[in-house]
Amino acid sequence: RAVAAGDEVGKTNKTTLLLTMSYDDLKDRLGAATTLGGLDAGTHLAPETVRRMCCDGSVIPIVLGSDGEVMDWGVEKRFFTDAQTKRLWLRDGGCTYPGCGAPPQWTDAHHLVHWADLGPSDLANGALLCERHHTIVHTRRLAGRVVQGAFGERVEWDLTRGSYDDLLARRAASNTATEPA
């Protein structure tokens, strides 16, 4: 992938996902999504797999009725633009997972606060991860954050399993505390 990309961000989506999982199941990490079309038609995917695939791809949401019939097709959305990804290449210099030396061309742009949890597609919420560490971050539910270092911004990871869930719980508690009764 790095040789083919050169200094350019890839022009195609790594994944185009036709998502038939309910939003609540995806958000709550319950149930399974079902793939449509191709050789893998009917394959069930765990919510964490769906979340990882969506980080650097396109999602076409499909609204299903109570009997599973397609009610509406959404619009394809790309999360990080080429310009944002190039800026992440400059800031991160490659995979941000501790100890990894993968170059930027081998990485995907990851939402530190996941898109399904209403995380924005901006530089303060982005980090580069190679495929191996992207899988680890999602599987172990690890939290990362952009911090100001001595030489500019950098991504810092909490490698405690479930740290992302702890982050979400803290965010929910602070949002609840500020909402009117």
Percent with pLDDT over 90 in the chain: 41
35: containing domain: 16-77
Does 47 score more than 60 pLDDT? yes
Residue 98 and residue 158 in one domain: yes
Structure tokens at 19: 């998502």
- How many domains are there within the chain? 2
Instruction: Specify the residue for token string 């919510």.
Output: 47
Q: Are 45 and 113 found together in one domain?
A: no
Give pTM, 2 decimals.
0.62
Residue range 62-119, pLDDT digits in tens: 655 666 665 555 544 556 888 899 999 999 999 999 999 999 999 999 999 987 787 8
For residue 143, give every residue at least 6 positions away whose Cβ sits within 8 Å of its Cβ, in sequence order, or none. 112, 157, 158, 163, 164, 166, 167
3-state DSSP assignment of residue 100: coil
- The reply to whether 56 and 92 lie within a common domain is no
Whether 64 and 99 map to the same domain: the answer is: no
4 or 100, which is more confident: 100
User: Kindly report the CA angle at 52 between 7 and 16, in degrees rounded to 5?
Assistant: 70
- Sign of the CA dihedral running 157, 104, 127, 27: negative
The answer to whether residues 63 and 71 touch, using CB atoms and an 8 Å cutoff, is yes
- Token look-up 């939402």 returns 111
Helix, strand or coil, per DSSP, at residue 147: strand
Q: Does 7 reside within a domain?
A: no
Instruction: Kindly state whether residues 85 and 54 are assigned to the same domain.
Output: no
